Amino acid sequence: MSKILKKATLLVLAATTLLFSLMDQAAFAHGERATEPYIRTRTVHWYDVTWSTDALNVNDTVTVQGKFHLLNDWPDSVSLPNLVFLSNGSPGAVMTRVESYINEIPARQSTKGLIIGRDYDFKLVMKARKVGQWHLHPVMNIHGAGAVVGPGEWITVSGNEADFKDPLTTLTGNKIDDLQTFGVSRVQMWQFGFGLIAAVWILWWLRRPLIISRWLVVQKGRENLLITPMDDKVAAGLLVLLAMVVLVGYTRTTSEFPELVPLQSGSLSAPPLPKPPHAVEVKFKRAEYDVPGRSMRLSVEMTNTSDQPVSVGEFTTANLRFINKSLPAAVAAVSSKFPKELVPRNGLVIDNPEPLAPGESRLVNLDTTDAAWEVERLVSFLSNVDSRMGGLLFFYDGKGNRSMSEVYGPIVPVFKKTI
Amino acid sequence: MHAILESEPRAADPQKTKKMINLVPVAISWGVLLAIYVGLRLYQQAFAFKYGLDSTSPEFATYWLTLFKVEVPLIFGVGFAIWAYLWLTRDKNLDKIDAETELRRYFSLVAWFLLYTFSFLWIASFFGESDASWHQTVIRDTALTPSHIVVFYACIPLYIILGVSSLLYATTRIPKFSKGYSVPLIMAVLGPGLILPNLGYNEWGHAFWLTEEIFSHPLHWGFPVLGWTGFALGGVLLQATMRMAELFKEIDGANLAKA
Amino acid sequence: MTDNDQAILAAAEMSPRIARYSRTFDYLIVVIAAFLVWSVTHIHFLLFAGDWDFFIDWKDRQYWILITPIVSIMSAAAFQAIFWSLFRLPIGATASALLFLIGVWIVRYHSWEGMAYFPLSLVVPATGLVGAMALDCILVLSRSWVITAVFGGVIYGLSFFPTNWIYLAPYFQPAEHMGEMASVADIIGYVFPRSGTPEYIRIIERGTLRTFGDSANWVSAFFSAFVCIFAYSVFWLMGVAACTPKYIPVGYRFKELYGAKIDAGAV
């Protein structure tokens, strides 16, 4: 039997060593694809997101900013954005948050009353803390629904972690050297002190004959042997000691810090941005996901309500940007620094590339074929109880002006092309 | 293996005062358990954030699902072997054992509890709160997170194995526990054991109700309520104390008679 | 060995040899009890009140001061009941609070800081250790769990806030951040991001209707003291109930499976 145990132990050790040796330094995704596709395609749509840099030293900051649109076709099972918190996705506190805003309103607290169908801008300033390569996403936490993760960019942090400091000066003028360590030694010193007294108390009792002997004595009704007059004195003394320590400690603390405030709570309102230009009415006709072809095809009726001819430039959903490569304005709208994996290579293919004339109505078929649908785990349309999709269409006129329209509707999985 | 399962020391010279318990097997078992726990923690340090955040990635399958698929059958396999051994080698002559042997077996039962409570500590404290640091940090996308694969599917099976082994040892070696089911012992073994099936409720709740993680949420209360059954070890201790006090008297009486 | 120890062994009618066995048993049980008290206290607290203890920006005036003592007195009471009712050892509450505190610090270092990069300033724990020692002392002095429930429970609930305030108060200094006033604790919580813990998830005071002369902390402490009496009582009784040395007869089927050999004469 012991041989088997030995062998098993060796096997586990060997397997562990093998796994460790397989370890490489490549970077991997970290849960941004965790959310169900119908949430990612029909709630918060991030756009115009930029990162001020993709490489920085410890203590340097990076600013992530952009806009988000809340889709009208908000799913039933997702709580409305009545209370949200702008955050960031990262594996632990590898970067610290310096500032964050929704429509220039500070977002240290949660924000209330976001309106579906409207747009907001956001800004996140993050400071590098831990050395490594970190994927930095904006995240919108919706109360009751969880996180909707925005596009992520890999940020390389170099330098010396030991240099990281986060100093702060309080309103009473006290200077805090570093928030990472602030107050910790004071907590530890006091708790260690209390712990020491507690340990002495426990040992005071444990040094005597304990379990069976004491039980037998209890059975014989000789409790006077178990709790002696000396124990009474020690207990009374300890009570007095504790009372004194707490009383003196508390009084001194309140005089040391006369100005203290409670935790700050309460949510802030952020009015939406003015409605963006809206040049095209989009009427959803049909959407299908071609399973073997990894292609999402969309059939919509577009009506140009502006006075300029417009062309479809981009379809964006779940942080993926399908760009109409035949339209220079749309191509130019994608910064060279934007994460490549979020801009599918095949882009957006339109069956009729002619611009839509003012007042014209036309049925247009849009094709977005890319492995990204699977890579991003967006194909579980098939396993959802609410198989609908949504996204934003961006249009450009001849002068390069951009307008935006929502598109959403049911999606049908197909195994051969029908539109 | 035998030494670990039967931690009573071999009787040497009956005239001498014999050691009641041999702690070497306990120390070895603690060492093995410690190696497992520390190994798992180091594994988390190396791969939890690196490959454990996206449950659909191939790296997740390699580094985490593999661990899950290996650990569950391995731990329960070893466990079943220990249980089978304890049952098959049961003492069918419990009526005839002398006081000193019986007393020694109580000490052996205590040795089992040294392992059982040690293993419970790692889930209830060390990896238990560690799971909070995982949830509060990342976005949950599977029930089989790197944290859960360790805390639920390695640590819980380990203490179930040791808890049931303690129960089986008592039932198959100690007359009192063989003649009657000890209510507190069953509670103290079954209650924490039920934490494993309680995961069904937990994961169901997280799939349909709660996307956000509040540790104190009522959805999680099944864990501590089942943890309360640990109080019943007080009852087991009382049962042991009552019987051991009798055995002490018997042994002392026999010694006096001899003298 | 003190005179008192010898008197105890004499009253227990233990010969030196048996006393040695008994002492060995004591040591082993101390280790088992430590593991058990540590485990049960931690898992109990973790899932009833853990969040308030994890983070400095959850330590509010309304719920932290109310809930932490109520939850922590439960396990303290149960273990006190077990050690006192069986052995007249008044250490259950102190052991529960002390071992829990040790366990908590281990995890704060190894996991919160060691794996998830959160600084200790974000995750400093509070402790009910002073109240727990007071519970044990009052039990010694009164020899009565009812008196301990009433007076000890009140002291436990009331002492939690001032005790922890001695070292946590500095975190509640005011500071300015993005043009708003916030406590240092709020800022620490904001600066070190937790992706799975949005701000709104905090179950904290969202505003006081009547501050009673800015003594909101003490109002919560008093309410906590009141509930602690009942929490203590219920868990004391649960601890006592857990010590029932009951056996249920195994029944015919089990005996058959077991196959015990019984002498013909004995039947």
Statement: residue A20 has pLDDT above 80: no
Write out residues 70-109 of A within 8 Å (CB-CB) of C.
83-85, 87-99, 101, 106, 108-109
Percent of chain A with pLDDT over 90: 76
Q: What is the pLDDT of residues B67-103, one digit of tens each?
A: 999 999 999 999 999 999 999 999 999 999 999 999 9
Please tell me which residue, A419 or A255, carries the higher pLDDT value. Answer: A255
CB B21 within 8 A of CB B107: yes
- Among candidate residues B114, B227, B128, B129, the one with its CA nearest the CA of residue B166: B114
Gap between the Cα atoms of A354 and C217, Å rounded: 69
Q: Do C50 and B121 touch (CB under 8 A)?
A: no
Q: Which of B2, B57, B137 sits opposite A29 (nearest CB)?
A: B57
| B245 interface with A at CB cutoff 8 Å | yes
Q: Do C39 and B134 touch (CB under 8 A)?
A: no
The letter for the amino acid at A164 is F
Mutate to test the interface with A, among B45, B211, B213, B239 (most CBs of A within 10 A): B211
| B76 interface with A at CB cutoff 8 Å | no
pLDDT at B102: 96
Q: Do C191 and A166 touch (CB under 8 A)?
A: yes
Tell me how far the alpha carbon of residue A70 is from its chain's centroid.
Answer: 17
- Among candidate residues C101, C100, C83, the one with its CA nearest the CA of residue C91: C83
- Averaged pLDDT for residues A214-225: 95
For residue C197, the chain B residues in CB contact (below 8 A) are 136-137, 213
Statement: residue A272 has pLDDT above 90: yes
- Report the gap between the CA of B91 and the closest CA in chain C (Å): 8
Q: What is the dihedral of CA B10, B12, B17, B18, to 10 degrees?
A: -10
Q: Do B212 and C258 touch (CB under 8 A)?
A: no
- Averaged pLDDT for residues A105-129: 96
Beta bridge partners of A283: A301
Q: Where are the beta strands (DSSP E) in A279-352?
A: 280-290, 295-304, 310-317, 320-323, 348-350
Q: Which of B54, B138, B248 sits opposite A28 (nearest CB)?
A: B54
- Report yes or no on C3 lying in a domain: no
Gap between the Cα atoms of A20 and A23, Å rounded: 5
For residue C24, the chain B residues in CB contact (below 8 A) are 20-21, 107
Mutate to test the interface with B, among C115, C201, C234 (most CBs of B within 10 A): C115
pLDDT at A21: 43
Q: Do B239 and C258 touch (CB under 8 A)?
A: no
- Report yes or no on C233 lying in a domain: yes
3-state secondary structure (DSSP) of residue B178: helix
Size of interface A-B (CB pairs under 8 A): 90
Q: What is the dihedral of CA A153, A158, A160, A166, to 10 degrees?
A: -30
Residue of A nearest to B138 (CA): A91
Q: Where are the beta strands (DSSP E) in C4-45?
A: none
Percent of chain A with pLDDT over 70: 91
- In this prediction, residue A11 has a pLDDT band, given cuts at 50, 70 and 90, of low
Residue of B nearest to A19 (CA): B63
Q: Which of A98, A170, A187 sits opposite C173 (nearest CB)?
A: A170
Mutate to test the interface with B, among A17, A19, A77, A110 (most CBs of B within 10 A): A19
- Report yes or no on C175 lying in a domain: yes
pLDDT at A2: 52
Q: What is the dihedral of CA C15, C16, C17, C19, to 10 degrees?
A: 80
Q: What DSSP string describes A86-101?
A: EEEE-SSSSEEEEEEE
For residue B248, the chain A residues in CB contact (below 8 A) are 212
| Alpha helices, H only, A178-290 | 184-206, 211-219, 223-226, 229-256
pLDDT at A7: 62
- Report yes or no on C59 lying in a domain: yes
For chain B, domains (ranges, CATH) are 22-258 (1.20.1050.50)
Which residues constitute the domain of residue C63?
Answer: 8-266
- Report the gap between the CA of B69 and the closest CA in chain C (Å): 24
- Report yes or no on C2 lying in a domain: no
Q: What is the mean pLDDT of chain A?
A: 90
Q: Do A147 and B139 touch (CB under 8 A)?
A: yes
Q: What is the pLDDT of residues A46-103, one digit of tens each?
A: 999 999 999 999 999 999 999 999 999 999 988 999 999 999 987 789 999 999 999 9
- Report yes or no on C232 lying in a domain: yes
Place of tokens 């040790």: C102
For residue B95, the chain C residues in CB contact (below 8 A) are 260, 262-263, 266
- Exposed, middle or buried, A70 (CB in 10 Å: 0-12/13-18/19+)? buried
Q: Do C198 and A235 touch (CB under 8 A)?
A: no
pLDDT at A14: 57
| B141 interface with A at CB cutoff 8 Å | yes
Write out residues 156-195 of C within 8 Å (CB-CB) of A.
159, 162-163, 165-188, 190-195
- Exposed, middle or buried, C4 (CB in 10 Å: 0-12/13-18/19+)? middle
CATH of the domain at C93: 1.20.1450.10
- Averaged pLDDT for residues A30-55: 88
CB A183 within 8 A of CB C119: no
pLDDT at A418: 61
| C254 interface with A at CB cutoff 8 Å | no
- In this prediction, residue A1 has a pLDDT band, given cuts at 50, 70 and 90, of very low
- In this prediction, residue B213 has a pLDDT band, given cuts at 50, 70 and 90, of confident
List the pLDDT tens digit at each of the 267 positions of chain C: 899 999 999 999 999 999 999 999 999 999 999 999 999 999 999 999 999 999 999 999 999 999 999 999 999 999 999 999 999 999 999 999 999 999 999 999 999 999 999 999 999 999 999 999 999 999 999 999 999 999 999 999 999 999 999 999 999 999 999 999 999 999 999 999 988 889 999 999 998 887 777 789 999 999 999 999 999 999 999 999 999 999 999 988 999 999 887 654 443
Beta bridge partners of A297: A288, A367
CB B99 within 8 A of CB B250: yes
Beta bridge partners of B52: none
Complex ipTM value: 0.95
Q: Do A261 and C124 touch (CB under 8 A)?
A: no
- Averaged pLDDT for residues A188-203: 98
Statement: residue A22 has pLDDT above 60: no
Q: What DSSP string describes A311-322?
A: EEEEEEETTEEE
| B74 interface with A at CB cutoff 8 Å | yes
Domain count along chain C = 1
Q: Do B212 and A141 touch (CB under 8 A)?
A: yes
- Report the gap between the CA of B198 and the closest CA in chain C (Å): 14
CB C76 within 8 A of CB C92: yes
Residue B250: CB atoms within 10 Å: 15
For residue B123, the chain C residues in CB contact (below 8 A) are 39, 43
For residue A206, the chain C residues in CB contact (below 8 A) are 30, 91
Q: Do A149 and B139 touch (CB under 8 A)?
A: yes
pLDDT at A90: 79
Statement: residue A336 has pLDDT above 70: yes
Statement: residue A169 has pLDDT above 60: yes
- Among candidate residues A233, A236, A214, the one with its CA nearest the CA of residue A225: A214
- What's the residue count for chain A? 419
- In this prediction, residue B12 has a pLDDT band, given cuts at 50, 70 and 90, of very low
Write out residues 189-218 of A within 8 Å (CB-CB) of C.
189-191, 194-195, 197-199, 201-202, 205-206, 208-218
For residue A199, the chain C residues in CB contact (below 8 A) are 98
